[in-house]
Structure 1
Amino acid sequence: MISKLIKKFFFKDLSKRMLETSYSQTPVKFKMWFYQRVLGFNKEAYWPMHFTSIVTGVKNIYAGIDTSPGYMPGCYIQGIGKIYIGDYSQISSNVGIITANHNIYDTRKHEVKSVIIGKYCWVGMNSMILPGVELGDFTIVGAGSVVTKSFSEGYCIIAGNPAKVIKKIDKEKCKPFKNNYEYHGYLNTHEFNEYKDKYLNV
């Protein structure tokens, strides 16, 4: 059903979506669309994903405007619990976003916690975001970091294993921006609101 709704929205005007997102951080590209919609890689995702990335639990994932987790290669986006990623946040290659760990006494069971990533964040290559983490707006996660706790205040650079604040960011210098055409992945804002209400658990 989800795949049918997505096809309804963008089979008819793929070229329009490609054009309107061409200057965004995560543009709709024909090759990526072909791998998802025709070959079936990550076909349930409503946003563009690289064929080497993996997503589970799409219904539990909110991807904000111009935010496509798994757009870069090698990512693992685990939506057993809820994932919320704010507008204009970017996820680099080989990033893991994990919402559940195995119970240490019974590995058949999961301990589930949500992950929240704010707006205008940047998660560097080979980083891991673990269950229960909340990152505030304008948080930069250094490459190779393992984020085990929340930094909900945002406006900081965190790095290391476990990640810690290595620099505060001057809030006054941060530049929020908006695209001329606002898309949640393949869906414009109007289409996404309809899709979210019907199919997402976020």
Structure 2
Amino acid sequence: MIKKLFAFFMPWALKRRILNTWFGYEIHPSARIGFAWIFPKKLVMQERSKIAHFSIAIHLDHVKLGTYASIGRSNWITGFPTSSASRHFTHQQGKRKSELIIGDHSAITKNHHIDCTNSIILGKFVTIAGYRSQFLTHSINIEEGRQDSYPIHIGDYCFVGTNSVVLGGAKLPSYSVLGAKSLLNKAFEQQFALYAGVPAAFVKPLNKDAKYFTRQTGYIF
């Protein structure tokens, strides 16, 4: 904890060297972390990736940001590391990893809650848009009377609308949109589609030539 506090208040150039040396992180010289408490067991930040002010990432096995990937302000990212001595999730030993993997040019905007008790994988050119969305990989298994967890997968070039809820086991296929305030609680397969509702369902196909699906940079002007 003393090392974490010391690193937290250092200027970024020095802080990056401390994080890489003391904690074994792999942070590219062009990557950057703002005034944020980011201390997973393993952290990889590739070229031009960034984490903005006031975000928190703790109790995780692994966080990885691809090139130009970003986590915006005031996001709460937590999990349940596999090294824990707790009885929770012992039935999934060797079958889960508490991790957040963000692909190249993908972005989580701000004020979202990301529960990485199990894996959350965002593909390339993904936008987790707006505010107050929740990604929840764990819940209580009523039949078994225990905590259980399942991974979440968001494909390439996806757009997740504001204030949505995504539950463990859900999959949003590549080149798809999840409408605002939707509940995604299952795995879908059809690409180039709009899914929306509570629970989310297929609404309509999307234009394969839409510029969002063909862009070469993540940032949208």
If the TM-score is normalised by the length of the shorter chain, which range does it land in? 0.5 to 0.7
Q: Within the alignment, does 1:67 sit opposite 2:106 as a pair?
A: yes
Residue aligned with 1:34, SS = coil
Q: 1:72 to 1:171 in 2, by over 3 A?
A: same
Q: Is the 8 A contact 1:33 1:48 kept in 2?
A: no
Q: TM-score, normalised by structure 2?
A: 0.60
Cα distance in 1 for residues equivalent to 2:177 and 2:200: 11
RCO (CA 8 Å, sep 6+): is it higher in 1 or 2? Answer: 1
Q: 1:83 to 1:139 in 2, by over 3 A?
A: same
Deviation at 1:135, TM superposition (A): 1.1
Cα distance in 1 for residues equivalent to 2:194 and 2:26: 41
Equivalent positions of 1:18-97 (< 5 A) are 33-36=34-37, 41-43=55-57, 47-51=70-74, 53-57=75-79, 59-69=98-108, 71-73=109-111, 75-92=112-129, 93-97=131-135
Map of 1:136 onto structure 2: 173
Q: 1:176 to 1:101 in 2, by over 3 A?
A: same
Q: 1:149 to 1:106 in 2, by over 3 A?
A: closer
Residue aligned with 2:35, SS = helix
Cα distance in 1 for residues equivalent to 2:77 and 2:57: 10
Gaps of 5+ in 2: 5-15, 39-51, 82-97
Between the two proteins, the alignment pairs up a number of residues equal to: 160
Map of 1:183 onto structure 2: none
Equivalent positions of 1:94-173 (< 5 A) are 94-104=132-142, 109-173=146-210
Q: Which has the larger Rg? A: 2
Runs of 4+ in 1 over 6 A off after TM superposition: 37-40
Residue type at the aligned position of 1:66: H
Cα distance in 1 for residues equivalent to 2:53 and 2:154: 30
Farther off after superposition, 39-48 or 150-159 = 39-48
Q: 1:40 to 1:140 in 2, by over 3 A?
A: closer
Q: 1:132 to 1:7 in 2, by over 3 A?
A: closer
Residue type at the aligned position of 1:94: R
Cα deviation 1:145-188 (Å, max 9, x = unaligned)? 011222222211111101111111133546423239xxxxxxxx
Deviation at 1:112, TM superposition (A): 1.0
Q: 1:39 to 1:131 in 2, by over 3 A?
A: closer
Residue type at the aligned position of 2:134: G
Residue type at the aligned position of 1:179: T
Taking only the aligned residue pairs, the percentage that are identical comes to: 21
Q: Is the 8 A contact 1:42 1:49 kept in 2?
A: no
Q: 1:146 to 1:178 in 2, by over 3 A?
A: same
Q: TM-score, normalised by structure 1?
A: 0.66
